[in-house]
Structure formats: structure tokens, C-alpha cells
Structure 1
Amino acid sequence: MIRYLRLKLHQIGRATKRSTFLNKYFPRFRDRVYWAGDRASFARAGFIGAFCMMLPVPFQMVLGSIFAYYARANIPLATALAWITNPLTMWPIWYGGYIFGTWILGTPDLFHASQGIVIGSTEWFENVFPHIWQPFFIGNSTLGLIFGTTLYVIIGHFNWHFLRNLFSKKNRA
């Protein structure tokens, strides 16, 4: 099973590296640091992926990949970490960020005061969102910075041997 997954990852990587669009607009895309990486590349990717995971915006995965490109970080790791927030997990994660934001700002939780109003409706955006947007964005951004920094330290200092062994050529047999 692991050999199959590595083969598929290799095939996807090859097809991605051959993309004319990516090679035209991102000329350094073939550089090894984006795909194999080193300690610093993995640590930066951990920060970027965890930060983008918490951002309450659509397409965090694409955003994480673009940030990883410009930060010379490992693109697959940054993309995979940003993928943690998916349609099933984003509501509890973002609600937790909102609660954290209300705690930081010392504001009441107004999310539950909107009972009976459909989330995402025009009425919700007119009556509820203007009151909750600050704790929502500040809480999620702050948690993204905290998680990203924690992951940066863990990957950069404590867990390097595990990652090196995982991606080494000796284990690909």
C-alpha cells in the first residue's frame, strides 16, 4: 500500500512539474526544495499550512501552495495541512476560532443570539455578521499564528529525524 501511494505521489509530482502553466508563471517550480525539502523547508511549510488552515477564506489549499512557493517551503506539506479544514471540519474549527476571538476581545458570544436566522442568508449578513466579524477573523488568525508557530518549532527542532526518514530514498524499496 505504501509503495502504491508513493508511486501515485511520484506520478502526480511529475505531471505537476511538467505543467506549462506552472512553469510559465512560476519559473522556480522545479526546484527540489519545493518537493523534497530540508528542515527549514518543512518547518516553513508547517507554519504556512497551519496558518492557512485557520483562515476563514475559501481555497485555503491554493493559498497555502502559493505562500509555500514564495516562502520556498515544501508545497505538498503546506497543501496537506491546509486541507485539514474541509467542508466537514471547517464549521467547528472556525466556530472555535470565533469563541477564541470573543475571549481575546472580551465581547459576548452573539452567534447564538441569531437563533431562527439561517446562517449565510441575506438577513444573517445584515443583522448578525456585522457584530461577529471582528472576533471571528481575529480569533481564527490568532489561532493560525499560534498553531503555525507551534508546528514550525516542532518540525524545525524536534521532529526532523522522523521527516527525514519518511522521505529518504532508503525507505522507498
Structure 2
Amino acid sequence: MIRFLKLKVHQIGRKVKASPFLNKYFPRFRDRVYWAGDRLSFARAGFIGAFCMMLPVPFQMLLGSILAYYTRANIPLATALAWITNPLTMGFIWYGGYRFGTWLLDTPPLKNIDPNIEIASQQWFSDIFPHIWQPFFLGNMVLGVIIGTIFYLLIAHFHGIQLLKQLFHKPAKSGQ
């Protein structure tokens, strides 16, 4: 099964890299750093993917891929991390960002909301959104930077941690 998945990923990668549109408008698209990468490329992708995950905008995955291209980050990792916010998780993640924003701005969260107002309806945008947009966007943006920075540092320094473990790991004595 794993071999089949690896084969499919390689097939998709070959098709994407051969795309005339992508090669015309993104000339460096075939560069190895975008697909295989190095530690710095993966660290950048970790920041970009986590930051885009927290943004309360549509097409986070596309935004993450474009930002990864322009910052020479690993495109598959940045795209995959942006997928963490999906229709099942976005409500919880963005509500957490809103609550964090209310804490940052020291504003009370809205409590007396009419439950009959449908989210994202015209009435919701006219009655509720003007009161929540500042903590909502600020909280999600700041959390995106914080989580992205954590991902960046973990990925960038993971290799160093592995080297330190190997350096201080004492091999077992054999034959005595």
C-alpha cells in the first residue's frame, strides 16, 4: 500500500512539473528545493503552512503554495499544513483565534447573540461582524505568527537536536 501511494505521489509530481502553465508563469517551478528541499526549505514551509492555516480567508492552500514558491520553501509541506484548517476544524480554530484576539485587545466576547441569525448571512454581516472583526482577524493573525514561528524553530533546529543526541549517546559495550 505504501509503495502504491509513493508511486501515485511521484506520478502527480511529474504531471505537475510538466504543466505548461506553471512552467510559463513560474519558471523556477522545477527547482528541487520546492519538492525535495533542505532543512531551511522545510522550516520556511512550516512557518508558511501554519500561518496560512490560521488565516480566516478562503483558498488558504493556494495562498500557502504561492507564498512557498516566492520564499523558496517546500511546496507540498506548506500546502499540507494549510489543510489542517478544513470544514471540520475551521470553526474551532477560528473561534480560538477570536477568543485570543479578545484577550489581546482586552474586549469582552459577544454574549447576547440571536441564535436565529444564520452565520455569514447578510444580517450576520450587518449586525454581528462589525463587533467581532478586529479581535477575529488580529487573534488569528497573531496565532498564525506564533504557531508558524514554533514550526519554523522546531523544523530548523530538529537536525541540530539529532546531532546532539548522537554526540552524547554512548554506544553499548560489546563482548565484555
User: Is this a same-fold pair by TM over 0.5?
Assistant: yes
2:89 match? 89
* Greater Cα radius of gyration, structure 1 or 2: 2
Give 1:159 deviation, angstroms: 5.3
Q: Secondary structure at the match of 1:113?
A: coil
What's the CA shift string for 1:107-149, capped at 9, x where partnerless? 1111653433111111110010001000000000000000000
Aligned partner of 2:30: which letter? R
Unpaired stretches in structure 1, ≥5 consecutive residues: 163-173
The alignment status of 1:28 with 2:28, answered yes or no, reads: yes
**Residues 112 and 22 of structure 1, relative CA distance in 2, 3 Å threshold:** farther
1:100 match? 100
Percentage of matched positions with identical amino acids: 73
Q: How many residues align?
A: 162
Aligned partner of 1:62: which letter? L
Unpaired stretches in structure 2, ≥5 consecutive residues: 163-176
Could you state the TM-score of these two structures normalised by the residue count of structure 1?
Answer: 0.90
1:165 match? none
2:6 match? 6
Superposed CA RMSD in Å reads: 1.5
Could you state the TM-score of these two structures normalised by the residue count of structure 2?
Answer: 0.88
Which 4+ stretches in 1 moved above 6 angstroms? none
2:70 match? 70
Aligned partner of 1:18: which letter? A
Which of the pair is proportionally richer in helix? 1
Give 1:5 deviation, angstroms: 1.3
Give 1:158 deviation, angstroms: 1.6
